Structure 1
Amino acid sequence: MKIVVTGAAGFIGSHLCEKLLEREEHEVIGIDALLRDELKVIGRRNLEAILDHPRFAFQEENLLNMDWDDVLAGVDAVYHLAGIPGVRNSWGADFDHYVTNNINVTQQLLEACKGKPLKKFVYISTSSVYGEVTGKVSEDAMPSPLSPYGVSKLTGEHLCRVYWRNEGVPVVILRYFTVYGPRQRSDMAFHRFIHQFLTNQPITLYGDGTQSRDFTYVGDCAEATAAVAEADGVIGETINIGGKERASINDIIEMLEWMTGKPAQVIHAGGLVGEPLHTWADISKAERLLGYSPKIGLAEGLRREVVCAKKHLQSS
């Protein structure tokens, strides 16, 4: 199967490319514009394990400038992970970047896929589309995003459904719940906390720390995402991808104190803006349609992220 992955050099995209290449019948084309400053530095490092792989080809290119007819020739599946992430930066004038990279790019890619003999178009969305929901949330919950970022990703979902219903693009939508692990983005809480612990800096905490999340280890997330390529009966479906366990942010800080052997000096950096107090994924559909069963518990996943962070600190 010939597969295109957009956002291939990113945190989750790089893990997905590795997972797809474990199957000998897969050939992967990874595309990434390296738009964010940190990706210009670490994007190729994220891909270092596969850059020379005989069944992997990497293209550094802005998706708005792609010759999609050429790229999509003979392609069986597209995984669309590219976009601008993050809730806090999506307000004000910066929303223009979210419109361009999360909405316009998605529409152009769907337009390019129209009429192509694709088997799957997998759009990566987020639990941010749900907003504040009490208890475990299933895919049929009414979306109510709390941030412009969530609005941009939900708009991408709507575009996907329009192109599926009207043009037959074989869309599958995955909603990720707080993915963490090695290569995590520097703006994400675990990455910030670990770096601050390891460099003896105060921990910057948004909110009071009682907010809880359904944390999804990146390896589990990549495995579930890769499974869509071969799955039957998933076209037109929206599927939650959540983790093995939930915890509060205060719980995470305590675990990192134990793992690093250092006490946390917490500085409160402000309240939660555009983020729910709690998330909790109903993953029964993923279990049924994808055979998904998250394997990595929070303590082990955090340990792996700490090991990765120490390695990169020592080499920098």
Structure 2
Amino acid sequence: MTAPLINQGPVVVTGAAGFIGSHLVDGLLARGTEVIAIDRRSVHNDPVAARNLADALADPSLALHQADLATDELDELITGARTVFHLAAVPGVRDSWAERFPDYASSNVVATQRLLAACERAQVPRLVLASSSSVYGQTSGPSAEGDPTYPMSPYGATKLAAEHLCMAHAARPDTGTSVVALRYFTVYGPRQRSDMAISRVLAAVLSGVPVPLYGDGHQSREFTYVDDIVAATLAAATIADDIDAEIVNVGGGSSVSMLELIAMIGQITGRKVPLAMEAPRAGDVEATRADLTLAHALLGYSPRVELREGIARQLDWMVKQPPSQSVSTPVAEVVSR
């Protein structure tokens, strides 16, 4: 099977109006790639989607389609694509325990199955799946791709199910679609969702409204800057022609505790971070840390943006946003996926 080259034809990005998806769209357009962008949100009535794609919408190489992968016809949208980057999903651990779980199951599992089937019918050479470090669950050290997976939340379970679907389809003898699943470790940077850790701690500093710290603050996360995520995701579209199915970690290179993160943000901003101590929440693991050995070998990947620099870039972006979008979250959580 020949590895697809993203500049030899159009590519598809699902979840294109999201945090990571919009950065990937920008990166592809900057390379001169024709992009078919799919999202169920509309830039006409969703201000976050409109903001995220503001620059891309002016590029004639972008074709934006509003569609729900779980229900709408997909074949026409992906026919002729060299690569499908599948980033569409419902994110977040805590909401997955509640009434929204049917949306998680539909958007993260059913939609992935339908997209894989459409890729096979259209003979798309490669699908790159955005998975999550949440599939690992509790760990005692750096997580390697071959380690056991015990997700501790319904969200993590749906992301693992999406991976299994990808591996099953890639193993079919009659498929022409290879798959690379990337396990992202907590992604941050400009456009990060307002419910995620770094966004919420920065919003607390800027607004003065305390941010709840769940647990004792010693739980740690490996944070990965969005530009590094985009670089790894683009590399996954072009790796060796003998790859049929692969799972690869993508992390930031180091793990820090929530207390260390809060202290760092205090140093960067020159302000005290207002905190409200709360009990631990279901689904939160003690630590995430990535073994990047395979990412180095297979993708040529090494994270380039150090955490302090990345936070400074995200802060600069946040303070430049209109007041209605910059610090609009009144109550925040610190632990994030």
Q: Shorter-chain TM-score: what band? A: over 0.9
Question: Residues of 2 paired with 1:292 and 1:147: CA distance?
Answer: 29
C-alpha offsets along residues 108-139 of structure 1, whole Å, 9 cap, x if unaligned? Answer: 11111123221211111100000011111110
Displacement of 1:22: 2.4
Aligned length: 313
1:114 equivalent in structure 2? 120
SS at match of 2:91: coil
Structure 2 counterparts to residues 30-109 of structure 1, below 5 A? 30-34=37-41, 40-109=46-115
Question: Residues of 1 paired with 2:277 and 2:41: CA distance?
Answer: 32
Displacement of 1:155: 0.7
1:147 equivalent in structure 2? 153
The alignment's TM-score, normalised by the length of structure 2, stands at 0.89
Q: Work out whether residues 245 and 297 of structure 1, in 8 Å CA contact, stay in contact via their aligned partners in 2.
A: no
- Greater CA deviation, 57-66 or 248-257? 57-66
Q: Work out whether residues 250 and 292 of structure 2, in 8 Å CA contact, stay in contact via their aligned partners in 1.
A: yes
SS at match of 1:230: coil
Q: Work out whether residues 87 and 130 of structure 2, in 8 Å CA contact, stay in contact via their aligned partners in 1.
A: yes
Displacement of 1:251: 0.9
Tell me which stretches of 4 or more aligned residues in structure 1 moved more than 6 Å.
Answer: none
Question: Residues of 1 paired with 2:79 and 2:142: CA distance?
Answer: 41
Q: Work out whether residues 208 and 274 of structure 2, in 8 Å CA contact, stay in contact via their aligned partners in 1.
A: no
Displacement of 1:55: 1.2
1:255 equivalent in alignment to 2:295 = no
2:320 to 297, 300, 311: 311
Question: Residues of 1 paired with 2:67 and 2:51: CA distance?
Answer: 17
Question: Residues of 2 paired with 1:64 and 1:272: CA distance?
Answer: 30
Question: Residues of 2 paired with 1:313 and 1:52: CA distance?
Answer: 21
SS at match of 2:130: strand
2:131 to 98, 105, 125: 125
Question: Residues of 2 paired with 1:309 and 1:156: CA distance?
Answer: 32
Displacement of 1:95: 1.1
> Structure 1 pair 40/269, CA: closer, same or farther in 2 (3 Å)?
farther
Q: Work out whether residues 175 and 240 of structure 1, in 8 Å CA contact, stay in contact via their aligned partners in 2.
A: yes
2:308 to 285, 299, 315: 299
Displacement of 1:278: 0.7
Displacement of 1:293: 1.2
Question: Residues of 1 paired with 2:10 and 2:110: CA distance?
Answer: 25
Displacement of 1:314: 4.7
The structure where helix makes up a greater share of residues is 1
1:210 equivalent in alignment to 2:210 = no
1:178 equivalent in alignment to 2:181 = no
Question: Residues of 2 paired with 1:303 and 1:88: CA distance?
Answer: 27
Q: Which amino acid aligns with 2:147?
A: A
- Greater CA deviation, 195-204 or 261-270? 261-270
1:16 equivalent in structure 2? 24
The alignment's TM-score, normalised by the length of structure 1, stands at 0.95
> Percent of aligned pairs with the same residue?
42
Q: RMSD in angstroms over aligned alpha carbons? A: 1.7
- Greater CA deviation, 306-315 or 70-79? 306-315
